[in-house]
């Protein structure tokens, strides 16, 4: 890989490390999301703090962290391998942000942004899956888990055998499943909270 490729990957990680939830809550005068609600710096927890506007801005910010580095990499015509690594780096930055002691969110919105960068229809299919299940069951974590599990499948079906991107999608899904392990435990016990509820 060339120096520009390494720079893109590093830049994607640093951008991903900017926590939208923490920044938005601070600017909006809301409590630090790491110390309230679920303790997760993500849009769902910001919504639990009582601000739909702050939650929407957080969601947009987290998605853009994944989307913009991928679009820049595509503009620079990098290889599929580098493109996959750029998306993965942005995602890992959100999970393990260097600016916040490597304690970040669970990566659903950032993963979605990366997928929209890989292919509009890939992102749309994943988002539609999340929305369909969330609307019916009102459980954010379950919606996210199903959507993430299907993301590599959508990547393969829509983009074809671009294995670098399929593998990157699968790797991000596995990492996010790991970050959702406490949610999975609550789901199995029937104790997971509903969207918009504390």
Q: How many CB atoms lie within 10 A of CB 160?
A: 10
- Give per-residue pLDDT as tens, 28-82: 877 778 877 777 788 878 887 777 888 899 999 999 999 999 999 999 999 999 9
- Percent of residues, the chain, with pLDDT higher than 90: 58
pLDDT value of residue 87? 98
pLDDT: which is higher, 196 or 6: 6
The answer to whether position 197 is within a domain reads: no
Q: Which two tokens stand for residue 42?
A: 């993500």
Task: Tell me, yes or no, whether 27 lies in a domain.
Answer: yes
- With contact defined as beta carbons under 8 Å apart, do 111 and 103 qualify? no
**Residue keyed to tokens 């790991």:** 178
Task: Report the C-alpha gap between 54 and 154 in whole angstroms.
Answer: 30
Asked whether residue 195 is domain-assigned, the answer is no
Q: Is 132 inside any structural domain? A: yes
User: In this structure, what token pair is assigned to residue 72?
Assistant: 């820049």
Domain assignment present for 194: no
Domain tally for the chain? Answer: 1
Does residue 56 form part of some domain? Answer: yes
Q: Answer whether residue 198 is part of any domain.
A: no
- CA distances from residue 38 to 105, 155, 160, 198 in whole angstroms, order as listed: 11, 31, 38, 8
Any domain includes 153:
yes
Domain with 166, as residue range(s), is: 3-189
The mean-pLDDT minimum among 75-89, 90-104, 131-145, 181-195 falls in: 181-195
């Amino acid at each position: 890989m060339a120096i520009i490729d390494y720079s893109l990957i590093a830049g994607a990680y640093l951008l991903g490390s900017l926590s939208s939830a923490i920044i938005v809550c601070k600017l909006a005068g809301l409590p630090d999301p790491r110390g309230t609600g679920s303790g997760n710096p993500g849009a769902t927890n910001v919504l639990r703090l009582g601000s739909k506007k702050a939650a929407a801005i957080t969601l947009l910010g987290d998605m853009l962290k994944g989307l913009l580095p991928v679009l820049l990499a595509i503009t620079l015509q990098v290889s599929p391998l580098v493109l996959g690594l750029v998306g993965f780096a942005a995602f890992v930055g959100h999970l393990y942000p260097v600016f916040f002691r490597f304690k970040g969110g669970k990566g659903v919105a950032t993963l979605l942004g990366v997928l929209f960068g890989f292919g509009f229809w890939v992102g749309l299919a994943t988002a539609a899956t999340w929305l369909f299940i969330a609307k019916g069951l009102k459980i954010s974590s379950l919606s996210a888990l199903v959507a993430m599990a299907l993301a590599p499948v959508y990547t393969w079906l829509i983009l074809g055998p671009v294995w670098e991107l399929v593998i990157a999608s699968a790797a991000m899904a596995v990492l996010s499943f790991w970050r959702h392990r406490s949610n999975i435990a609550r789901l199995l016990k029937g104790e997971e909270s509903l969207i918009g509820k504390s």
